Amino acid sequence: MTPGRLSDIQRFAWLRLARTETVGPVAFDHLLTRYGTPERALSALPDLSRKGGRAVPLSLPPREAIEQELEAGEKLGARLICGGEPDFPPRLAALDPPPPVLWALGRAELLSQPSLAIVGARIASAAGQRFARQLATDLGTAGHVIVSGMARGIDGAAHEGSLATGAVAVLGGGVGDIYPPEHDKLHARLAAEGCVVSESAPDRRAQAKDFPRRNRIISGLSLGVIVVEAELKSGSLITARLAAEQGRDVFAVPGSPLDPRSKGTNDLIRQGAILCEGAEDVLRSLSGQTHLREQDRAYEALPDMDIDHDALRERVAALLSPTPVSRNDLVRAAAAPASAVMAALVELSLARRAELLDGGMVAGV
- Each residue's pLDDT expressed in tens, for the chain with a length of 365 residues: 555 788 899 999 999 999 998 899 999 999 998 898 999 999 999 888 888 888 887 889 999 999 999 999 999 999 999 998 999 999 999 988 899 999 999 999 999 999 999 999 999 999 999 999 999 999 999 999 999 999 999 999 999 999 999 999 999 999 999 999 999 999 999 999 999 999 999 999 988 888 888 999 999 999 999 999 999 888 899 999 999 989 899 999 999 988 999 999 999 999 999 999 999 999 999 876 545 444 444 444 445 556 788 888 999 999 999 999 988 898 899 888 888 888 889 888 988 899 888 778 899 88
pLDDT in tens, 278-323: 999 999 998 765 454 444 444 444 455 567 888 889 999 999 999 9
**Of 60, 86, 104, which one is at a domain's C-terminal end?**
104
The whole-angstrom separation of Cα 207 and Cα 220 is 21
Are 89 and 113 within one domain?
A: no
**Of 82, 104, 126, which one is at a domain's C-terminal end?**
104
Are 174 and 72 within one domain?
A: no
Q: Tell whether 54 is covered by a domain.
A: yes
Contacts of 108 (CB under 8 A, 6+ apart): 79, 81, 87, 195, 197
Are 157 and 119 within one domain?
A: yes
Q: What length does the chain have? A: 365
For the chain, what percentages of helix, strand and coil (3-state, to nearest 5) are there?
A: 50, 15, 40
Q: Tell whether 302 is covered by a domain.
A: no
Q: Tell whether 292 is covered by a domain.
A: no
Contacts of 84 (CB under 8 A, 6+ apart): 3, 4, 6, 93, 297, 299
**Of 39, 72, 104, which one is at a domain's C-terminal end?**
104
348 closest CA partner among 22, 52, 56:
52
Are 138 and 273 within one domain?
A: yes
Are 164 and 62 within one domain?
A: no
Domain span holding position 332: 309-364
User: Do 202 and 174 meet the contact criterion of CB atoms below 8 Å apart?
Assistant: yes
pTM for the full predicted model: 0.85
Cross-strand bridge partners of residue 36: none
User: Do 58 and 11 meet the contact criterion of CB atoms below 8 Å apart?
Assistant: no
Are 278 and 170 within one domain?
A: yes
Contacts of 20 (CB under 8 A, 6+ apart): 42, 45, 58, 60, 61
Residue 90 burial class via C-beta count within 10 angstroms: exposed 0-12, middle 13-18, buried 19 and up: middle
103 closest CA partner among 125, 74, 130, 123:
74
Number of structural domains (the chain) is 3
Q: Tell whether 325 is covered by a domain.
A: yes
Range list of H helices, the chain? 8-18, 25-35, 38-52, 63-76, 90-93, 126-141, 154-162, 184-193, 211-220, 235-245, 260-270, 279-286, 309-319, 327-334, 338-350
